[in-house]
């Protein structure tokens, strides 16, 4: 088992950033969650990593989790600044970076702009620029891609059971095999307030601002500038458990062919959520541990 998790506050611009820390004797492993998630998205992966093998840091990003009160401006570059502060105050560079979803785009930005802080980069179901369909505004694509995850930020729930029920109806969690104690704890952590007026603690402005950055034209080639060894882990299915994955295989294959230091592994029988939270967590942990230790 890993050593017990403790919470640490890191001083960043605007106030304290909350970081979950699992102490270990090995290299620093920095785990960065997705656009409307928290560090809890990594709990099941952490549990499956070799005990004590890494010094694990998993922040609640600005605008999420216990860092939800941190003010803007938001954006991927802003998160990189915060993560540099995390490494400066809690570890020694270089660190092994692993980012899921938006966290992968942060990883690409981090690796391309502050390479001295990182040693290796793992991109989990993200990191390749999303194509913008002709005639569709970026804001509309964000609504379409995130769907229920974004809609929940405007809703109130009478209690925790109602919030869990909301997520039980999400296609990514409809299969009973996709639901476990880690998943339940992930959603419980996200909910704040008192019954009957409970809501997600995620800052909607942060989500909407951060969600536009991966669609910037320069993101198409930003991954080409990352000098570190990279591993891309992709899910077989998408955010809504649809057959089409978020990271199109043709786009991944093209980047792997173009970047000699980019490796790729598909995590079998997973969707965009379950690749870190649910059935895919153990396989994702094995892949990260092997790559980080290479």
Q: Residue 261 maps to which CATH number?
A: 3.40.50.1820
Residue 211 is assigned to a structural domain of this protein: yes
Whether 56 maps to a domain, the answer reads: yes
- Amino acid 143: pLDDT: 85
Over residues 168-226, the pLDDT tens digits come to 999 999 888 899 999 999 999 999 999 999 999 999 999 999 999 999 999 999 999 99
List the Cα angle 54/57/60 in 5-degree steps.
Answer: 155
In a domain, 75, yes or no: yes
In a domain, 46, yes or no: yes
The answer to whether position 236 is within a domain reads: yes
**Can you name the residues that pair with 121 across neighbouring β-strands?**
97, 230
Expressed as residue numbers, the domain containing 101 is 6-130+202-293
Q: Is a pLDDT exceeding 90 seen at residue 135?
A: no
Is residue 141 domain-resident? Answer: no
Question: pTM of the full predicted structure?
Answer: 0.97
- Give the number of domains in the chain: 1
- Grade residue 244 by pLDDT with cuts at 50, 70 and 90: very high
Task: Decide: 60 and 67 in contact? Cβ < 8 Å.
Answer: yes
Q: Which residues contact 97 (CB under 8 A, 6 or more apart)?
A: 30, 32, 107, 110, 111, 118, 120, 121, 122
pLDDT at 20 over 90: yes
């Amino acid at each position: 088992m890993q050593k017990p998790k403790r919470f640490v506050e890191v001083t960043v611009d605007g106030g304290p950033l909350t970081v979950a820390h699992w102490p270990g004797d090995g290299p620093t492993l920095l785990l960065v969650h997705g656009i409307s998630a928290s560090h809890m998205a990594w709990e099941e992966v952490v549990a499956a990593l070799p005990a004590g093998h890494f010094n694990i840091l998993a922040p609640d990003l600005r605008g999420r989790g216990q860092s939800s009160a941190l003010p803007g401006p938001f954006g991927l570059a802003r998160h990189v600044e915060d993560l540099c502060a995390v490494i400066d105050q809690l570890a020694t560079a270089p660190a092994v970076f692993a980012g899921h979803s938006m966290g992968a785009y942060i990883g690409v930005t981090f690796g391309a702009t502050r390479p001295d802080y990182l040693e290796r980069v793992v991109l989990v179901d993200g990191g390749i620029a999303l194509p913008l369909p002709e005639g569709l505004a970026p804001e509309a694509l964000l609504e379409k891609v995130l769907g229920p995850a974004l809609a929940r930020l405007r809703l109130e729930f009478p209690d925790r059971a109602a919030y869990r029920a909301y997520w039980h109806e999400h296609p990514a969690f409809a299969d009973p095999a996709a639901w476990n104690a880690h998943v339940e704890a992930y959603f419980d952590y996200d909910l704040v307030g008192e019954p009957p007026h409970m809501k997600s603690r995620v800052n909607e402005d942060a989500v909407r601002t951060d969600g536009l950055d991966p669609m910037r034209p320069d993101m198409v080639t930003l991954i080409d500038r990352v000098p570190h060894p990279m591993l891309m882990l992709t899910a077989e299915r998408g955010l809504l458990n649809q057959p089409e994955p978020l990271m199109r295989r043709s786009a991944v294959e093209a980047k792997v062919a173009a970047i000699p230091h980019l490796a790729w592994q598909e995590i079998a029988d997973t969707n965009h959520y379950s690749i870190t939270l649910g059935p895919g967590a153990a396989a994702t942990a094995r892949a990260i541990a092997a790559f980080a230790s290479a």
